[in-house]
Amino acid sequence: MNRDRIAHVDYLDFVSGDPDRKSAFIKAFGDSFANMGFAIVSNHGVSAQARNDLYSVAKRFFELPDDVKRRYEDLSNNGQRGYISKNRESAKGQKVPDLKEFFHIGQDFPDAQLEELGYPANIWVEELPELKRIGLEVFRIFSETGLNLLRAIALYLDLPENYFDNKTQTGNSILRLLHYYPLDSVEGIPPGAVRAAAHGDINLITLLMGGSAAGLQAQTLDGDWIDVNPSNEEIVINIGDMLERHTNGRLRSTQHRVVNPQDLEELKKPRYSTPFFLHPNSDMDLSCLPNSISAGNPKRFDDITAGEFLDERLRELGLKKA
């Protein structure tokens, strides 16, 4: 396999009951993560209707006046739920904020369980009551799809297929409705600002329905940038920092970015996408798997829990104050 190629795989091969098709899926899927940190999956369980409904309600939310949207921004929750306004998030190590705004939906647990886990409650929009129904349904679908894909990853890592099953049930997963807002001119862009600066994701894996416009790029092992362009019927999966740590680098958390359009007319158009960041339970031990450590690949990461790592990264992103 070309190590700069992002594999396109069919999830139906994994659940076909045919051992050869299943094995081929696991190898192609896992090798793509080892080389590029990305894979593109068809027949994944996220329906076109769910996709269209989510994009529609996201577009309607971001078209609300800024003063209305800010009513749903709670600065005390460190950007974990509700609206996060423009110029609030910067990529790790970047001083210039990204050209975006977004809305977060998390676990819909009872208040007592949220308090026990230390998670904030979801924030719902009075002007768009359908956001709750649609958002939670897509959250549920992505949670199930993500766990199914983690089972394939577990087998690639020579772990039991259900290795991740009890490690993600109460994870602080987040569905992000993301809006890269339009700009009238190149002169209006702060120096060095892009729609999303190069970064790695925090979590185990990210599931992403294709954006409404081009722009997503991933970095190869040689440092080159390649476009990531799934069809509307496919979803992009990429490895997050937590899984890279847990596998001692065997699976790669790839730097990726969303670049500004070169065409001025495209810059004047909004771009929407909806990543789902699948997190493990906060107490999951992210220590390097024993079978990932060898003389040729010594232990590269300190021991840490998922909750501790998330807290550390939120501070680095400027969403949580020290």
Tokens of 269: 């158009």
pLDDT tens string for the chain (322 positions)?
567 789 999 999 999 999 999 999 999 999 999 999 999 999 998 888 999 999 999 999 999 999 999 999 998 888 899 999 987 876 676 777 788 899 999 999 999 999 999 999 999 999 999 999 999 999 999 999 999 999 999 999 999 999 999 999 999 999 999 998 887 766 667 766 777 778 889 999 999 986 655 678 999 999 999 989 888 889 999 999 999 999 999 999 999 988 777 776 777 888 899 999 999 999 999 999 999 999 999 999 999 999 999 888 877 766 666 5
- DSSP codes, 166-229: GGSTT---EEEEEEE---S-GGGSPTT--SEEEE--SSSEEEEEPPSSS-EEEE-TTS-EEE--
Q: pLDDT at position 213, please?
A: 57
Query: What's the CA gap between 177 and 260, in Å, rounded?
Result: 19
Task: Quote the pTM value.
Answer: 0.92
Whether 321 is in a domain gets the answer no
Whether 168 is in a domain gets the answer yes
- The kind and range of the H/E element at 272 are strand 271-278
The per-residue b/e assignment along 184-193, b for 16 or more CB within 10 angstroms, e otherwise, is eeeeeeeeeb
| CATH number of residue 23's parent domain | 2.60.120.330
Look at the chain and report how many structural domains it folds into.
1
Whether 322 is in a domain gets the answer no
Percent of the chain with pLDDT over 90: 69
Domain that holds residue 129: 7-316
Whether 32 is in a domain gets the answer yes
Whether 200 is in a domain gets the answer yes
